A and B are shown apart, each in its own frame.
Chain A
Amino acid sequence: DTGVSQNPRHKITKRGQNVTFRCDPISEHNRLYWYRQTLGQGPEFLTYFQNEAQLEKSRLLSDRFSAERPKGSFSTLEIQRTEQGDSAMYLCASSRPGTGGKETQYFGPGTRLLVL
């Protein structure tokens, strides 16, 4: 169990640029989640995959945000035309198959985005 990994760990970009983050879940976990965390807040749900299918999207996920998990393994989160309000920590989590809701989500270290 190598844990959830995220790359890059830090990203500084200029307003209007596109950024892409990658998440590699724990290998046997078929569920993958993206969250956003701002200072003083808990993680806010963005989107969720089961295998390659994107099953839920938060209304926080504007049309500038897109996430993929093409082969049901790693996932990418892209933000187009970044805005200063996108500055946050982006967290990825994964969980193993199980009856819904009680499984434990394991989090990666996060990608901290700063939009100048």
Chain B
Amino acid sequence: AQSVAQPEDQVNVAEGNPLTVKCTYSVSGNPYLFWYVQYPNRGLQFLLKYITGDNLVKGSYGFEAEFNKSQTSFHLKKPSALVSDSALYFCAVRSRGGGSYIPTFGRGTSLIVHP
């Protein structure tokens, strides 16, 4: 079975400060990892994914995420937060080991960026 934990329901950060949204996963074998963002009453928008190779993945809107196999983590980061980054962020994982193509999503973390 595969699972994702987003340990923080909410993250608060001041505009201009760096932000981190945490994600840890559990999966058989090696993972594919994804981050999505959701604005109010909207669907999910893809930010970035880790497939293989470089552990630091760069994505849309200045976001990046670092894959850490030993800690089974894939934290989302941004050097300087914007008020417009305020949204709900979802981490997702899928095992690379075959079988279902379906990713498992975390419960989401609400990011609030204060002016």
A interface residues (Cβ-Cβ under 8 A, vs B): 4, 6, 31, 33, 40-45, 48, 56, 91, 93, 100-110, 112
Task: Check A104–B46 contact: CB distance below 8 A.
Answer: yes
Question: Across the interface, do B108 and A102 meet the contact criterion of CB distance under 8 Å?
Answer: no
Residues of B with C-beta under 8 A to A41:
107-108
Number of B residues, CB within 8 Å of A: 27
CB distance from B11 to the nearest CB of A (A): 15
Which residues from chain A contact B32 at a C-beta distance below 8 Å?
101-102
* In contact, B95 and A101 (Cβ under 8 angstroms): yes
A12 to chain B, nearest CB (A): 15
Chain B positions within 8 Å of A, measured between CB atoms, are 4, 32, 34, 36, 41-46, 49, 51, 90, 92, 94-96, 98, 100-108
Q: Once bound together, how far apart are the Cα atoms of A45 and B104, in whole Å?
A: 8
**Residue pair A43, B105 in contact (C-beta under 8 Å):** yes
Residue with the highest number of chain A CB atoms closer than 10 Å, among B101, B106, B108: B101
Q: Which residues of B contact A109 (CB under 8 A)?
A: 41-43
Within 8 Å CB of B92, what residues of A? Answer: 42
The answer for the CA separation of A103 and B92 in the assembled complex, in Å, is: 13
Contact call A102/B98, Cβ cutoff below 8 A: no
Collect the chain B residues with CB atoms within 8 Å of residue A48's CB: 101-102
Q: What are 11 of the A-B contact pairs (CB < 8 Å)?
A: A42-B107, A101-B94, A101-B95, A101-B103, A102-B49, A102-B51, A104-B46, A105-B46, A106-B46, A107-B45, A108-B43
Task: Indicate if the CB atoms of A107 and B107 lie closer than 8 Å.
Answer: no
**Chain B contacts of A110 at CB under 8 A?**
41-43
Residues of B within 8 A of A112 (CB): 41
Q: In the complex, which residues of chain B have a beta carbon less than 8 angstroms from the beta carbon of A44?
A: 105
